[in-house]
């Protein structure tokens, strides 16, 4: 690691399964390295498969999605080390002027909801998969992550699990807020899954995949097995609409270019202020 450069840790929770999302995260970081004149470096940690956990020496942490149940790591060494890291980061931010910034994606979002007891983490009745809308809360409409997106906006959503029945007292005690819910489709908000949260000024997370770009999403949707499944689940018309939104500059691509870049921009700006 080079001195005087901001250090980013990418926590890979894909359990050695083939995926495209880590590459999407890497591509976003490469773009930002150009904007910030190579003022930061990043390292990837295979946490769930190899048990590699970053130290507290990093400035920014991006914790990925991953396959399977958010409960299957219980009593495992990797999950114990992962939660110890999160606790250390929370403790650090309470005491230090130079903060640590963390973004949780999908599987990681479910883990942090479990760990902080923010709500019930349960299996969905049916898988949610595709380019789907999410609705902002009042807090989400002004949050730096989403304020420049329409309401609702579209995202890449791949999940068989969900965070429901949020514990509002716990949110209040932590100073946390819910930023988005899954699109209501006429369902009462109390029954909807939470799809993004802000834990603090430095930590936030999304149930969906803001890193997924249009090319990746079109590739996923075009796989014959997944295409057939989605046409059965949502119907041919909805499937065609997903394909359109995957390539629409005002659909998925807008979310890809907005959410994680906004988090990185804010984190890097605040860190550079302290360094300078």
Residue 249 has a pLDDT of: 87
Residue with tokens 């930590």: 203
pLDDT in tens, 73-98: 999 999 999 999 999 999 999 999 99
Inside any domain, residue 230: no
pLDDT in tens, 248-276: 888 899 999 999 999 999 999 999 887 65
Under 8 Å between Cβ of 264 and 60: yes
Share of the chain above pLDDT 70, in %: 96
Inside any domain, residue 223: no
Predicted model pTM:
0.94
Inside any domain, residue 28: yes
Per-residue pLDDT band at 238 (split at 50, 70, 90): confident
Share of the chain above pLDDT 90, in %: 73
Sign of CA dihedral 51, 99, 268, 196: positive
Model confidence at 67: pLDDT above 70: yes
Distance CA 117, CA 111 (A): 10
pLDDT in tens, 186-220: 666 667 999 999 999 999 999 999 999 999 999 98
DSSP the chain: --TTSEEEEEEE-STT---SHHHHHHHHHHHHHHHTTT-EEEEEEEHHHH-----TT-SEEEE---SS-TTTTTT-HHHHHHHHHHHHHHHHHHH-SS--EEEEETHHHHHHHHHTT-SEEEEEEEEEEEEEEEEE-HHHHHSTTTTTS-SSEEEEEEEEEEEES--HHHHHHHT-EEEEEE--TT--GGGSPEEEEE-SSSEEEESSBTT--HHHHHHHHHSHHHHHHHHHHH-HHHHHHHHHHHH-TTTHHHHHHHHHHHHHHHHHHHHHHHH-
Model confidence at 131: pLDDT above 50: yes
Structural domain span for residue 31 = 6-123+134-150+161-212+253-275
Inside any domain, residue 129: no
Instruction: Indicate which CATH number applies to the domain containing 29.
Output: 3.40.50.880
Under 8 Å between Cβ of 104 and 63: yes
Residue 2 has a pLDDT of: 54
Inside any domain, residue 33: yes
Structural domain total, the chain: 1
Inside any domain, residue 169: yes
Cα three-residue angle 116-111-262, rounded to 5 degrees: 90
Inside any domain, residue 111: yes
- Cα distances from 157 to residues 30, 105, 191, in angstroms, run 24, 11, 18
Inside any domain, residue 197: yes
The two beta strands, 60-63 and 101-105, are parallel
């Amino acid at each position: 690691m080079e001195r005087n450069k901001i250090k980013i840790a990418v926590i890979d929770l894909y359990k050695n399964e083939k995926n495209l999302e880590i590459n999407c995260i890497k591509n976003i970081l490469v773009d930002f390295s150009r904007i910030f004149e190579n003022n930061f470096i990043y390292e990837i940690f295979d946490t769930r498969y190899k048990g590699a956990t970053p130290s507290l020496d990093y400035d920014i942490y991006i914790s990925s999605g991953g396959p399977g149940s958010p409960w299957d790591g219980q009593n495992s060494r990797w999950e114990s080390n992962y939660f110890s890291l999160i606790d250390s980061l929370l403790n650090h931010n309470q005491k230090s002027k130079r903060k640590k910034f963390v973004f949780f994606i999908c599987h990681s979002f479910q883990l942090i909801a479990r760990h902080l007891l923010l709500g019930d983490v349960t299996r969905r009745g049916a898988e949610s998969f595709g380019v789907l809308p999410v609705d902002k809360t009042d807090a989400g409409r002004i949050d730096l992550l989403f304020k420049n997106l329409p309401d609702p906006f579209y995202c890449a959503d791949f999940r068989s699990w969900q965070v429901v029945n949020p514990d509002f007292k716990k949110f209040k005690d932590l100073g946390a807020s819910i930023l988005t819910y899954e699109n209501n489709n006429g369902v009462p908000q109390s029954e909807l899954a939470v799809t993004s949260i802000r834990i603090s000024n430095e930590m936030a997370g999304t149930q969906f995949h803001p890193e997924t770009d249009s090319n990746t999403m079109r590739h996923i949707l075009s796989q014959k097995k997944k295409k057939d499944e989605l046409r059965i689940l949502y119907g041919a018309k909805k499937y065609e609409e997903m394909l359109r939104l995957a390539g629409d500059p005002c659909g998925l691509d807008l979310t890809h270019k907005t959410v994680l870049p906004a988090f990185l921009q804010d984190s890097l700006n605040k860190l550079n202020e302290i360094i300078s």
